[in-house]
Amino acid sequence: MPLFSLDELAEAAATVRPFVPPTPAYAWPLLAAKTGAKVVVKHENHTPTGSFKARGGLVYVDALRRAGSAPKGLVTATRGNHGQSVALAAARNGIPCTIVIPEGNSPEKNAAMRAFGGELVTAGVDFDASRAVAMQMEREHGYHFVPSFHVELMKGVATYALELFTGHSDLDVVYVPIGMGSGICGLITVRDLLGLKTEIVGVVADKAPAFALSFAAGHPVPTNSARTFADGMACRDPQPDAFAIIKGGAARIVAVSDDEIAEAVRLYFTATHNLAEGAGAAPLAALMQEKERYAGRRVGLILSGGNIDMPVLAQILRGATPTA
Q: Do domains 6-52+151-317 and 54-145 have the same CATH topology?
A: yes
Domain 6-52+151-317: top CATH class? alpha beta
> What confidence score (pLDDT) does residue 225 get?
80
The mean pLDDT of the chain is: 96
Q: What is the DSSP letter of 53?
A: T
Pairing of strands 74-77, 97-101: parallel
CB atoms inside a 10 Å sphere around CB 140: 9
How far apart are alpha carbons 158 and 148 in whole angstroms? Answer: 14
Render pLDDT for 85-135 as a digit per residue (tens, 0 to 9): 999 999 999 999 999 999 999 899 999 999 999 999 999 998 889 999 999
Between 161 and 72, the higher pLDDT residue: 161
Sign, CA torsion 108/111/112/113? positive
> What confidence score (pLDDT) does residue 119 get?
96
What lies within 8 Å, CB to CB, of 6 at 6+ separation is: 193, 194
- Decide if 226 contacts 285 (C-beta within 8 A): no
Fold of 54-145: Rossmann fold (3.40.50)
> What confidence score (pLDDT) does residue 128 get?
83
Identify the CA nearest to 43 among candidates 162, 201, 160: 160
Render pLDDT for 141-170 as a digit per residue (tens, 0 to 9): 999 999 999 999 999 999 999 999 999 999
Task: Say what the alpha-carbon torsion angle 241, 245, 246, 249 is, to the nearest 10 degrees.
Answer: 170
Burial class from Cβ neighbours inside 10 Å (0-12, 13-18, 19+) for residue 34 reads: middle
Q: What is the rounded average pLDDT of the residues 173-187?
A: 97
CB atoms inside a 10 Å sphere around CB 160: 30
pLDDT score of 70 more than 80: no
- Annotated domain spans of the chain: 6-52+151-317, 54-145
What lies within 8 Å, CB to CB, of 19 at 6+ separation is: 48, 54, 58, 88, 92
- Decide if 174 contacts 199 (C-beta within 8 A): yes
CB atoms inside a 10 Å sphere around CB 65: 13
Q: What is the rounded average pLDDT of the residues 296-317?
A: 97
pLDDT score of 47 more than 80: yes
- Decide if 78 contacts 57 (C-beta within 8 A): no
Burial class from Cβ neighbours inside 10 Å (0-12, 13-18, 19+) for residue 70 reads: exposed
At 115, phi and psi to the nearest 5? -65, -30
> What confidence score (pLDDT) does residue 271 get?
98
> What confidence score (pLDDT) does residue 127 get?
86
Render pLDDT for 210-232 as a digit per residue (tens, 0 to 9): 999 999 999 999 998 889 999 99
Pairing of strands 119-122, 97-101: parallel
